[in-house]
Chain A
């Protein structure tokens, strides 16, 4: 029984990744909350004169402003997919060569055995994202693009700025604003469900593996045990 454990501190998440992460979390909270209010405004003003209030307009303004923040955070992340360290690069999320794909598939099977079914005890120790997580983040990035395109398409007829106007072609392609709104709304639920699972799993890994998972998204570093469990599976 180990009484003391030696840890290796490894710097995994560089600044742009962490910046992206927390700016995204903040803007997404605002976007999902204001978005659902836009979709179904609560009746907390039921009388009065229109000139005295602007709350719904304000909620919409917050949504559009947060939309821009969400976009630019993502732009930084995409840049870092090409400029960042090995854990940040695009091929983590999209293993497109046969070798990478095979390695990724092996990783996924291991995650399923260890973390989901829990029929294998050995913890999966990888430095960056585990294979399953990578695939999910790859999907999140795609839905992020989708949501941004749908959002700015909805925004196009409301704005005179050149940027939203670039997305005006999306509306006819999707068969009208009504369809775009439904898709935008559905993707919102994707993010909500993802965030719930994601936060749960962050806590799960932090508790089970004790590698400082959660704080790693703040400080950038994870702590790897050097004894029991060792550096198996390190990629």
Chain B
């Protein structure tokens, strides 16, 4: 066959019916955050556009992004997008290994130079010339630079590739670095989260595959459809927040009643993600619904913004654990001591200068 198959052709080969396919398109449209009027466009795109070649790299990561992705709820996602269709290279899921795998990668990169989609899971270590992560004898740093040169666009999967995540947490011994700090001349779509929600990943990739265009991104480079609101803005416990009904400790009555977890350190008010809307594990639940605060996993530096169960985070750069309030109180106390000392000194001095003009009872006259 001369040309690459379209997704529809591939789905048919896999034994999916037209009905399945249309349902899949409708699901995708919703997942990609588009209006239902866009379904026709999606159908047409999947019927006519040959699939994009995709290479998926795994660097400093725990594979939770891949795990999340293969659990995204629609069967066609795993069947079509992941297994059979699009992935030309992915260390975790491909059958090939060793020399064969590397050959597949290099074939794709050479044949589709400038066209393939590059997915990156994991951060890239830069300390000691990048030796902390090597694949097939080459450093992640080398691989990323080489692969990015021919990529049409890059997707940074998860917090590791988007902002460094735990590898980049202080003191960051390996110099772990997110993709956008290394590659600056390609469009990069960040899909942060530890892991990102499977449906969000699918929605993003589907947009790219179906339309060949970059979804609308926010200032930070995240798809607006999923990251434009804070968890807090869509949280079902929000009425309790506004009412001032808070869980005060994990085992109290309020926790049972499902009050707001703000005082237990919930990061919902500072975290941009779709958890409260899309939820997890096919919409079963999400952390807050299960009684645990958000830990801000899709935000930069979230590991260093701890402790997770405390609302005000520790101040970075302070040797002992200090929060803004403790610093404030300390400075306030020092001020009080200083002012007190000054007042005493003034009192003493004033007695010395008795007879000076200060002691004269001033009688204003105009």
A residues whose Cβ falls under 8 Å from a Cβ of B: 1-7, 9, 39-41, 43-57, 59-60, 116, 118, 121, 123, 157-158, 168-169, 172, 175-179, 181-182, 185-186, 188-189, 192-193, 196-197, 200, 204, 208-210, 212, 223, 225, 227-229
Contacts and interface: CB of A to CB of B under 8 A. Distances in A.
B356 interface: yes
Nearest to B238: A50
Contacts of B263: 40-41, 43
A196 B334 CA distance: 11
Could you say which of B229, B270, B311 has the most chain A C-beta atoms within 10 Å of its C-beta?
B270
B357 A50 contact: no
A98 to B, nearest CB: 32
B243 A50 contact: yes
Interface stretch (B179-187, B201-209, B324-332): B324-332
B59 interface: no
A225 B357 contact: yes
Interface of B: 219-220, 229-230, 233, 239-246, 248, 253-254, 262-263, 267, 269-271, 296, 299-302, 305, 311-313, 315, 324-325, 327-328, 331-332, 335-336, 339, 342-343, 345-346, 349-350, 353, 355-358, 360, 362-366
Given A176-B299, A178-B302, 16 more contacts: A2-B360, A40-B263, A43-B248, A47-B253, A50-B245, A53-B243, A53-B245, A54-B244, A57-B244, A118-B345, A123-B357, A178-B267, A182-B312, A185-B324, A186-B315, A193-B335
A138 to B, nearest CB: 20
Contacts of A225: 357, 362
A147 to B, nearest CB: 13
Nearest to A228: B357
Interface centre among A48, A50, A169, A188 (most CB of B within 10 A): A50
B313 A178 contact: yes
Contacts of B254: 46-47
Contact of A189 (B301, B328, B366): B328
A83 to B, nearest CB: 28
Contacts of A3: 360
Contact of B220 (A2, A6, A172): A172
Of A2, A176, A181, A189, most B-chain CB atoms within 10 Å: A176
Contacts of A181: 270
B355 A1 contact: yes
Contacts of A45: 243-245
B243 A48 contact: yes
B243 A56 contact: yes
A185 B335 CA distance: 18
